[in-house]
Amino acid sequence: MKKNVKIPVIFLLLLFFGSFLIFLGSRNDAVTVAKSIKSGVLTADEINVAFQNVGGKVIKRFVEESQMVKKGDPLMQLEDVDTKLAIDRLQALVDSQRAAVNQEQAAIEITENETNLSELSTWRKIEEVKASLEAAKSARNLASTEFDRQAQLRKTGGNSQSQLDNARNAFVVAKMQVIQIESQLSTLMIGATPEQVSQFEKTQNATGMSLQSIIIARQKLENRQNQLAQLKAQLAQGEADLKQLQINYQRLTLKAPEDGKVLKLMFEDGELAPTGAPAVLLETDRKYIDIYVNEKMVNDYQPGTTVTANVIALDKEVKGKVRFATAAPSFADLRMTRERGQADLTAYQVRIYIEPIPKLLTGMTLEVEQ
């Protein structure tokens, strides 16, 4: 073969063979990598643990950095002298308020019994006065008859003037007695309706009659019920404040909200911890990885989907569950090559929470193949 023909043929064969190898192998472009391997660094959720609604001087730290803790373990303690004094003062106030409530309740009960007894006694008193009135009217009629008889006898000279005067005086006294008893009866029956008065005149029984004095007494009782309600409200507020102080006293001891590792302690012994300021940085046992996939693959990673990941450092497989898949920031978009005629694709962030296994540490790289 002529030299000028042989060289181009060999070059074309080599070019064809190289292109074939490139086609079969990985080109390490964004499309190929995203389709073959999805990897991420194992990360743990971190939480800031703070004193809730309390602050003060740190008197003791129960843990150190890198120490593993369980849920409920004490982490840090604040000084409790002021809170104890406040609880004692408020407890004394609550006891006083409770005694005032009990006293008012007993007083209302006694007054109510006295009012009921007074009402019953007044009904009987009305009946008694009514009977006295009937007797007084009879005495008045008798005195009137005697006075008229003595007056007739005086005209005929059958008696003396002193006898007539005595009869007249007895009649006046009897008449005044009737007026006095009628006034007393009217006073006792103040508040009774005309129907009740009419019924009483027929039956001579005052039971059930409305009496103004009893009505006023019961209105005073209702007013005392309002005072009792106010005392009870003050007691309830005091008890609520006391309960809040007791809760705050418990909060002076900062406890781990869940299992994890102490990463950082913000305060030393003797320092003042402000209310609500983070005091301990805790790394939880909830570990996850974030991977990025393009929009053609995101449907394979719906929330709740179980996936398998390979721990490179341990050469072990571990299970994980997808928590969410959301559009990633624009800088994470996959920039595809134009050699295959594809446009750029939006990247999606997929968070996968990993089941714990022995020796699995934060910072290890995990590869998800799916």
Please give the pLDDT value at position 257: 94
| Closest alpha carbon to 344 in 352, 330, 334, 355 | 334
Residue predicted with more confidence, 231 or 15: 231
Same domain, 70 and 97: no
Could you list the beta-strand ranges (E) of the chain: 38-41, 43-50, 56-61, 68-69, 74-78, 253-255, 260-265, 272-273, 278-294, 306-311, 316-327, 347-354, 365-368
Which helix (H) or strand (E) segment holds residue 222: the answer is helix 212-251
Quick one: pLDDT band at residue 13, thresholds 50, 70, 90?
Answer: confident
- Give per-residue pLDDT as tens, 215-262: 999 999 999 999 999 999 999 999 999 999 999 999 999 999 999 999
Same domain, 210 and 345: no
Which helix (H) or strand (E) segment holds residue 256: the answer is none
The CATH number of the domain holding residue 294 is 2.40.50.100
CA separation for the pair 15, 20 (Å, rounded): 9
Q: Choose the final residue of a domain: 244, 279, 306.
A: 244
DSSP-based helix, strand, coil % in the chain, nearest 5: 50, 25, 25
CA separation for the pair 145, 94 (Å, rounded): 75
Please give the pLDDT value at position 337: 45
Same domain, 230 and 106: yes
Q: Phi, psi at residue 233, to the nearest 5°?
A: -65, -40
The CATH number of the domain holding residue 169 is 1.10.287
Which helix (H) or strand (E) segment holds residue 340: the answer is none
- Give per-residue pLDDT as tens, 254-307: 999 999 999 999 999 999 999 989 999 999 989 999 998 888 888 888 999 999
Same domain, 201 and 110: yes
pTM of the model: 0.64
Same domain, 68 and 88: no
Q: Phi, psi at residue 280, to the nearest 5°?
A: -140, 135
On average, the pLDDT of the chain sits at: 87
Specify if 12 maps to a domain.
no
Which helix (H) or strand (E) segment holds residue 23: the answer is helix 3-24
Same domain, 227 and 271: no
Same domain, 74 and 195: no
Q: Phi, psi at residue 87, to the nearest 5°?
A: -65, -40
C-beta atoms surrounding 153 within 10 Å: 15
Report angle CA 147, 153, 159 to the nearest 5 degrees: 95
Quick one: pLDDT band at residue 330, thresholds 50, 70, 90?
Answer: low
Same domain, 101 and 231: yes
Specify if 20 maps to a domain.
no
Specify if 4 maps to a domain.
no
Q: How many domains does the chain have?
A: 2
Q: Does residue 177 contact residue 139 with C-beta atoms inside 8 Å? A: yes
Same domain, 217 and 272: no
| Closest alpha carbon to 336 in 29, 130, 115, 92 | 29
Q: Choose the final residue of a domain: 193, 211, 244.
A: 244
Provide mean pLDDT across the span 11-26.
Answer: 69
Specify if 39 maps to a domain.
yes
Kindly give the interhelix angle for 212-251 and 81-156, rounded to the nearest 10 degrees.
Answer: 180
> Could you tell me the two tokens for 215?
């009505």
- By residue range, what is the domain housing residue 222? 84-244
Q: Does residue 267 contact residue 56 with C-beta atoms inside 8 Å? A: no
